[in-house]
Structure 1
């Protein structure tokens, strides 16, 4: 499945009803590498810069506690992997799933930082249930 995954989603759900509370989305864009990058002959983005970008997004994710609503009832999660239309997916190893989308009228969305390597660009976003009543 090399390069076939286009999106990873972490869905936080109520354990009792399976209702989505949060949906963390990580879009994976495969970029065309500059000639020589794969062979190691062209200058690539420094590892230190990539690591700095990853640290920044991890810091933003961990600080999301400041705006995300508290969940008092037991929760569970599902990890979803979306593949490209032309991707080769070993059907025997994967199962279909509900997208666990939040109702638009009750959802807030926050775009998170992105980061890139020579081969990928990752864009992140969190959607969470917000009804305005403190729940």
Structure 2
């Protein structure tokens, strides 16, 4: 669960960074007085820090195989969803695009979770090796 929240924080950080960069590109130096850009910039540091702390906590509490796949899947999903909802970014939405998005997400999830559930095989001397 901690890995999932860490991935969501990382995705949210990406959206905040995109908002700050877009404001800077559009407004230039006036972005420092734009309320939306200031709020995004002020939220960026604590959200990114929380994401890193949560990810490290997830690695300490849970096995890497339990934490990392959840982080890996939650990060891009959160970034795309919040980018579309909060920043009104255009997400291609033809049937082909949506099918490709779903296929890519399924491939990421399958790969991450299959790697997470593999157990190392012990050799004669007892040292674990990858299968």
Q: What TM-score, normalized by structure 1, do the two folds share?
A: 0.30
Bigger RCO (CA 8 Å, 6+ sep): 1
Instruction: State the structure with more CA Rg.
Output: 2
Q: What TM-score, normalized by structure 2, do the two folds share?
A: 0.31
- Relative to its length, the structure with more strand (as a share) is 1
